[in-house]
Chains A and B, each alone.
Chain A
């Protein structure tokens, strides 16, 4: 066996989170029409304005066609065959509010999160076990199970709750900000999400407040044949700052499942939002069967002067990832950053990147994208840097690196630049490299196992991005990468 074949074997991953929670669920029948939209809205006790908003999104979606420009291939999705709402029965019985204490949460759900290593017990967290100083919102299929540390956050004036609760308790904020970054008709998947989204997280950090803890949402898809459509909205008022992380997993199933999320970020003057993702949806098996279709619209509006939005993502899972976290740099001197590691193995397909839309003066953006392809994976970086007429003295730096493991995978880069202002300074660097036999031999000759050697090379390649993750999650990300590239040697 050649070194290359061995490397390929080495990267055969095992998915650790593929278990299913056997829990009684309320799942509405498959199909999508206005009645379904109304039903979802009714289940959530939503006010009139939300239902209207959903319906208009739905009507718009019906006029749209699914985009085909991405460098991904998949059979046509039958949107009528999906179910658009699934919730654990036990959760359903507690009205629309998320449970007040963990005692009310179904033990099976708690067990699920325990298995996933997500800390939901505040006491345990405070005792300093895992996840100290992180508040968690846990979303299971279409509903939020619980949100930790709400009280502590409330003392600081920070609102952190499920989207449904926010609609109920803070409708004025929802009305003011929902859809202002990603309009409901923005694109096919965003429109679909706007019509049927079920839950997600809401964060509001008032003027001048630095959020005292890391916030995180943990998304879990469990039910079969359902789509997950979550929606997250984060608002940082003048001078506020917050760091937020989302994690995601799903059971191992033979069918593909659709996940179409929308995330909107709003940063006012001098505000700072750091949004990190560790995405580990089920990627499908070695033959490419099953896995999540991850079609996501994420956009941050650096609305205020000197505001800053940072996207950091580690994309390891999903059968198909279609995702371009973007920044609209509207405020003068605002800053947008995108740091990404995307790993594709087996038959995974990734088309991801970012858009930096420079509108304000002296706006700056940085893009660092690290794509790793193994097996037969196809990994594409797609980025747009747009410098508007008004954006004098804007600057962008893009670094786009691809690492290939084996010789059946592919890496592609599609960098687009539109500069409408001649004062712009734009720099682009791109490299493609392989985990070479020389590197493997060198490290192994120092006593490292094949796996450790490979992880070392890959981690080194990703270092610039890992450095951007909150400390605790950087460790998690490295471990995830190790798992993703783990397999049977020899």
Chain B
């Protein structure tokens, strides 16, 4: 059974159709890259998968790990093992990063019938993850994303992913705004998540992320549809030729 199966997905926002019949299957163990010009609907797809209010799914189905995803609230999707890494992580002043991490982990544990994580184990785990992301412990005690630089926000998203160990990670342009070293750190984090039981979707504009995290599949999203899919060589082609030729080919 596929981990994620999207069939003929149509979605609109404020009466405007953005997704126009998306089909996508992600199996456990696979890494998919979604590329496509600005405004083609990549973030919209992520938000619809995350269950954000305001988007109306007019047609199609989505199953995730055996669940009918469209019947689930955002937090239920998270608890079922989906993690959305945001293109623009929002600031939540006054809420300590460490507090959110703990609450998020406990929400998941509670759903699994586990006790709250004990503080000692938790701190030890978090400190290790923070170090692995080349972040300073001080980040844990700052407000969530508050005053973080663009790159710091993205590292923080990966940190959350590493802690929550989702079945499916949907990373929307996690590589944008990263310096060269940070790109490496983030990529290493993503590679650590890679595994038999997990699926990863990377939304990206650039080949450089895919040099570190080699995708099994690459899809081109254009005007709300996946117009071409292929293996990692498709990304190389895009990098070399740009979108024009592929768009013409597809139409």
Contact = CB atoms under 8 A, between A and B. Distances in A.
Interface in A446-472: 446-450, 452-453, 456-457, 459-464
A55 B112 CA distance: 68
B61 to A, nearest CB: 21
B53 A461 contact: no
A151 interface: no
A444 interface: yes
B154 interface: no
B151 interface: no
Contacts of B50: 441, 445
A172 interface: no
B53 A463 contact: no
B49 to A, nearest CB: 10
A438 interface: yes
B92 interface: yes
B160 A446 contact: yes
A443 interface: yes
Given A437-B53, A456-B100, A445 B93 contact: no
Nearest to B101: A446
A25 interface: no
A460 B92 contact: yes
Contacts of B164: 446-447
A6 interface: yes
Interface residues of A, number: 27
Contact of A457 (B53, B95, B108): B95
A446 B95 contact: no
Contacts of B52: 441
A442 interface: yes
Task: Classify chain B's interface size.
Answer: 20 to 34
A452 B164 CA distance: 18
A448 B103 contact: yes
A60 to B, nearest CB: 45
A456 to B, nearest CB: 5
A436 interface: yes
Interface in A319-358: none
Contact of B78 (A3, A436, A444, A460): A444
Interface string B98-109: 011001100110
A450 B84 CA distance: 17
B90 A462 contact: no
A444 B52 CA distance: 9
A2 B111 CA distance: 27
Nearest to B73: A444
Contacts of B160: 446
B113 interface: no
B93 A442 contact: no
Contact of B100 (A441, A446, A461): A446
Contact of A459 (B53, B84, B90, B95): B95
Nearest to B145: A442
Which of B53, B77, B83, B111 has the largest count of A CB atoms less than 10 A from its CB?
A: B53
B53 to A, nearest CB: 4
B244 to A, nearest CB: 34
Contacts of A443: 92, 100
A80 interface: no
B163 to A, nearest CB: 10
B29 interface: no
Nearest to B105: A447
Contacts of B60: none
Interface in A1-25: 2-3, 6
Contacts of B75: 444-445, 447-450, 453
A439 interface: yes
B86 A461 contact: no
A462 B92 CA distance: 12
Interface in B60-88: 73-75, 77-79, 83-84, 86
B89 interface: yes
B113 to A, nearest CB: 15
Contact of A447 (B79, B92, B94): B79
B147 to A, nearest CB: 14
B90 A3 contact: no
A447 B76 CA distance: 7
A485 B180 CA distance: 45
A330 B53 CA distance: 55
A456 B99 CA distance: 9
Contacts of B15: none
A405 to B, nearest CB: 15
A463 B144 CA distance: 13
Contacts of A3: 53-54
Contacts of B95: 456-457, 459-460, 463
B103 A436 contact: no
Interface of B: 47, 50-54, 73-75, 77-79, 83-84, 86, 89-90, 92-95, 99-100, 103-104, 107-108, 111, 143-144, 160, 164
Given A442-B89, A460-B94, 7 more contacts: A438-B90, A445-B74, A446-B100, A456-B95, A460-B93, A461-B93, A464-B94
8 contacts: A2-B54, A437-B54, A441-B47, A446-B83, A446-B160, A452-B107, A456-B103, A457-B95
Task: Name the 6 nearest CB pairs between A and B, nearest first.
Answer: A460-B94, A460-B95, A447-B107, A447-B78, A463-B94, A444-B74
